[in-house]
Amino acid sequence: MVFSVFEIVNLFLDELTEFKRDVLEFLRQPLEDGYVTISRARQSVMFPAQFTLVASTNPCACGYYGDTIAQCTCSPRQREQYWAKLSGPLMDRIDLQVAVNRLKPEEITQQPTGESSATVRERVQQARDYASSRFNNAVNLSCNAQMQSRDLHKWCKLDDSSRNLLEGAIRKLGLSARASDRILKVARTIADLAGDDELKTNHVAEAIQYRTIDRMQ
Ligand SMILES: [Zn+2]
């Protein structure tokens, strides 16, 4: 399939841990910068590579770690090896890490009662418009993901309570500066979804909750 260079696409990787580690590591540059550099003997060429990465993986090799019914048969060492393919720097770049639990029987058989995708889309668009109006005069800024560190100081000011919460998470989870910045961007988006100008403790707390895999390790 051929995509226009200006088109933003979604990349879905199922069974993330089944990919070779060097293939996964290659994702780091486009995830961070939105382009890839291809180098050959005489020249180096940059191509635009903006995409939304969605990935899924089992929690361990047998697939049952954390399951409410079946028992995981992997040893701690096997689980460690399983996750070793996903490096810290790669996981730093995945903003929302969510554990998806086994569905209950009634959830499988009954009609879904959640919101429609159209309703969610409307809410997301409102939040993006909200962010976009905040960045009105800023160059190269149209959404929260594009914020650099200097932008975070301007748009993601923390009160003492929020700062203490984030510092505690950094210490407890061993988060890098990049992961901390990503938490702030997600918190800013949560605030935008709520229509809040100020970043509050509950926004930061929710953003930290989305570091599931950091919390598992
Ligand atoms: Zn297992």
Query: Based on the domain organization, do 18 and 93 belong to the same domain?
Result: yes
Q: Residue 155 sits in which domain range?
A: 117-210
Domain count, the chain: 2
- Domain assignment present for residue 168? The answer is yes
Q: Is 144 exposed, middle or buried (0-12, 13-18, 19+ CB in 10 A)?
A: buried
Taking a 5 Å cut-off on Cβ, the residues next to ion ligand 1 are 60, 62, 65, 72, 74
- Domain assignment present for residue 1? The answer is no
State the distance from the centre of ligand 1 to the C-alpha of 61, rounded, in angstroms. Answer: 5
State the distance from the centre of ligand 1 to the C-alpha of 22, rounded, in angstroms. Answer: 24
Percent of the chain with pLDDT over 70: 94
- Domain assignment present for residue 109? The answer is no
- Domain assignment present for residue 96? The answer is yes
State the distance from the centre of ligand 1 to the C-alpha of 76, rounded, in angstroms. Answer: 9
pLDDT over 70 (residue 3): no
State the distance from the centre of ligand 1 to the C-alpha of 78, rounded, in angstroms. Answer: 8
State the distance from the centre of ligand 1 to the C-alpha of 73, rounded, in angstroms. Answer: 5
CB 212 within 8 A of CB 98: yes
Q: Which of 102, 131, 159 is the last residue of a domain?
A: 102
Of 147, 148, 152, the closest CA to residue 166 belongs to: 152
pLDDT over 90 (residue 192): yes
- Domain assignment present for residue 28? The answer is yes
Q: pTM, whole model, 2 decimals? A: 0.84
Query: Based on the domain organization, do 162 and 185 belong to the same domain?
Result: yes
Query: Based on the domain organization, do 84 and 18 belong to the same domain?
Result: yes
